[in-house]
Amino acid sequence: MCVNNIIFHIDVNSAFLSWEAVYRMAHKGGRQDLREIPSAVGGDMAMRHGIILAKSIPAKKYGIQTGETILEAQRKCPNLVLVPPNYSLYEKCSAAFMDILREYSDIVEQYSIDEAFVDMTASCRLFGEPVEVAEQIKDRIKEELGFTVNIGVSGNKLLAKMASDFKKPDMVHTLYPEEIQSKMWPLPVSELLFVGRATAKKLFDVGIKTIGELATADPAWLKSILKKQGEVIWGFANGIDLSPVLDQPPANKGYGNSTTTPYDVTDAETADRVLLALAETVGNRLREDNVRIEVVSVGIKYKDLSYVSHQKVLQTATNLTWEIYQAARELFLERWNYGPIRHLGIHTSRVISGDFYRQPTLFDEIDYDKLEKLDKTVDSLRKRYGMDSVMRASFIKQPIDHMSGGISREKRTVDYDRITIE
């Protein structure tokens, strides 16, 4: 019987790899299931995006980890089957996955491209007991979409998410408050949500190795060691989480894009071109959401992977591409040490939403009204005819993508005609 809150956390098993495996077998005549062999989705080393994005369960047995380089993964498993990322496919699979969830509840919070929280409190009586409904959803996704999910069932988001991380794949697990001591407390403290490596090390150093030991520790003592975070994770260890499932995502507190350059950038002209390309995509996103920003920051990652950033507050809020670029260029020149650059980013904050009127001054040297009309026209043309329909002359016959940042172009689609599918 449904009582109190019923929250599901649904997580696709090895999402990118599963979606690729299903697509190859269902649409490209593939006979080999990538999920059953040591395999991984990895970026293009030639484009300097050579990291593991997703791995199969057999690959995990070799110690392969998401985020490590392809070279590191291949050393662990020389026979690892690597496939390129295809975000266009992932977005379609994610949308189909979310559509099924919304048939069961009006309150679905998409937590990431491959996981979601579903508030079943009001609707579980329509479909049956919570575990029965979870099994039904899991089986429907497998039968209709071809991939598997894990579902965690509990009374709040924290416990539901912890439950979905129990034994995989294709499983339903409960973690109700009365099950915390038996199911969650014996786990290593590093498996608790929001306990990262640094925090886990601090806890290990003071003798706390399990979630149960954290839950029964003195919260005041934990606060003295970890400050505010000590109180928060003590609450999590005891299953305390009051955050609601949000069917509408919260407003962005900032907008940004970054890109790894195809080669080390050693001159200001090329860096300028990269910053302009990033300003194009950031400005487009701001205008699409009808917001403006008051703070611009630039991040620089050098060849040796050291990182610096620099920011400034603008005199007037803006969403104009040229204005964002000029601010970013100024910040870059103030902070760049002339070392070779492998990654650049533009980030913004202090977001202002809604209609906005720029107060002109006697000292304006730029026709901002004209720039605004130009940006809107370019946005409209790109939306209708494609992102490459309008391009600034400075990008013609240049290796820098004129719309850089976010999901890189080579990760958006895959030319399967050029790939051998077994």
Residue 217's CATH number: 1.10.150.20
Strands 149-154 and 341-353: unpaired
* Weakest-pLDDT range from 8-22, 46-60, 123-137, 233-247: 46-60
Same domain, 270 and 130: no
In the chain, the amino acid numbered 373 is K
- For residue 421, being part of any structural domain is answered with no
CA-based nearest residue to 389, from 399, 397, 379: 379
- For residue 47, being part of any structural domain is answered with yes
The total number of structural domains in the chain stands at 3
- For residue 286, being part of any structural domain is answered with yes
**pLDDT for residue 275 is more than 70:** yes
Same domain, 32 and 66: yes
Same domain, 102 and 165: yes
83 in helix, strand or coil? Answer: strand
Q: What is the DSSP letter of 243?
A: P
Same domain, 171 and 26: yes
Same domain, 308 and 191: no
CATH number at residue 326: 3.30.1490.100
- For residue 282, being part of any structural domain is answered with yes
- For residue 422, being part of any structural domain is answered with no
The catalytic residue among 20, 68, 115, 280 is 115
Residues forming a β-bridge with 118: 8, 108
- For residue 245, being part of any structural domain is answered with no
Task: Report the mean per-residue pLDDT for the chain.
Answer: 90
Question: How far is it, in rounded angstroms, from Cα 352 to Cα 310?
Answer: 21
Q: Which domain holds residue 320?
A: 256-411
Question: Which of 132, 152, 176 is the endpoint of a domain?
Answer: 176
Active site residue 115: yes
- Residue 369 — pLDDT band, cuts 50, 70, 90? confident
| Cβ-proximal residues to 9 (8 Å cutoff; 6+ apart), any chain | 111, 115, 116, 117, 118, 151, 152, 154, 157, 160, 161, 163, 164
CATH number at residue 158: 3.30.70.270
pLDDT cut 90: percent of the chain above it = 70
Same domain, 163 and 24: yes
Same domain, 404 and 326: yes
pLDDT value at residue 368: 82
In tens, the pLDDT along 10-25 reads 999 999 999 999 999 9
Same domain, 98 and 207: no
CA-based nearest residue to 49, from 73, 74, 69: 69
- Residue 365 — pLDDT band, cuts 50, 70, 90? low
pLDDT value at residue 96: 96
Tell me the HSE value of 371 on the side-chain side, using a 13 A CA sphere. Answer: 17
Question: Which of 147, 176, 205 is the endpoint of a domain?
Answer: 176
**pLDDT for residue 408 is more than 80:** no
Measure the N-to-C terminal CA separation of the chain; round to a whole number of Å.
48
Average pLDDT over every residue of 230-249 = 92
Same domain, 209 and 305: no
Same domain, 122 and 147: yes
Q: Nearest 5°: CA angle at 219, between 215 and 225? A: 110
pLDDT value at residue 1: 45
pLDDT value at residue 403: 86
The answer to pTM > 0.85 is: no
- For residue 249, being part of any structural domain is answered with no
- For residue 266, being part of any structural domain is answered with yes
Question: Which of 123, 152, 176 is the endpoint of a domain?
Answer: 176
